[in-house]
Amino acid sequence: MNETAPTRIGSFFTAPFVAASGLLIAAALLAGPVAEHFQFRQAKRTLKLIKPLSSLNEASLGPYRVVDRQILDPVIVEALGTEDYISWTLEDLSVSRDDPLRYANLLVTYYSGGTNLVPHTPDVCYLGAGYQPAQPHENIDLKVRVPAVGATSVPARLLTFARTAVFDHEKRTVVYTFFCNGRFVNTRTSVRLLINDLSITYAFLSKIEVSFPRATRAQSVGGARKLFAQILPVLVRDHIPDFKKAEARVRASASKG
């Protein structure tokens, strides 16, 4: 009996068995630590905007009015990686003309589908424009309600840069957040984790960025909270697709099939 045992055990290790085992092990690794280490990306389907960002209703912005709608240079659009954007200058009519928060620069971009959805961020872009960090960057939470997704606060990133060229001294604070797959997050790592989830079919992200040319860092936080409270509910309700509904449709279709 002892002489035949090795033969019976060895019979299980056929070429198909070994190949199938290898595939299962590889899949497990890709879905786990190796996927995170090598930034393995699964191609996602595209979710189109409900309405173009450029059609955002100015009347829904409360005290803000659009004073400039910028059409970006094609080279800049290529660098952004999307043609779904708005780059507007807003004026807050509810504050005095000399208030540092009177004018705001707003940039909203939208990306969906494919395998590379991590956008450019001010953390990197401002360095390329000759700025340097004036103080450490911070991740903050802004008390902003976005009813469509049940949010009562929005995580954001706060950055202050300075440019100290001989004839060009300037300090600029930027506040931005991502809306990715139905959730607000404030880091590229969080975006990667949401988008590279192997269990989902679709993926999208929108970056909402604001700066106030004349404001201090502290003033910019208050200005961003006020502006985000006005624009984020409108973007989520009227323009950005419902991620949960899209995924539910996929699951329903799969169960029927």
Neighbours of 121 (CB within 10 A): 18
User: So what's the pLDDT on residue 7?
Assistant: 45
User: So what's the pLDDT on residue 244?
Assistant: 95
Average pLDDT, consecutive stretches of 10 residues, N- to C-terminus, the chain (257 residues): 46 46 42 44 90 96 97 91 96 98 98 82 84 92 97 97 74 96 95 93 97 96 98 98 95 79
- Residue 70 · residue 88 · CB < 8 Å: yes
Nearest to 54 by CA among 71, 36, 79: 71
User: So what's the pLDDT on residue 14?
Assistant: 54
- Residue 190 · residue 180 · CB < 8 Å: yes
Contact residues for 90 (Cβ-Cβ < 8 A; gap 6+): 61, 64, 65, 66, 67, 103, 104, 105, 106, 227
User: So what's the pLDDT on residue 59?
Assistant: 93
Task: Give the rounded distance of the alpha carbon of 38 from its chain centre.
Answer: 20
The Cα angle at residue 28 between residues 23 and 34, in degrees rounded to 5: 110
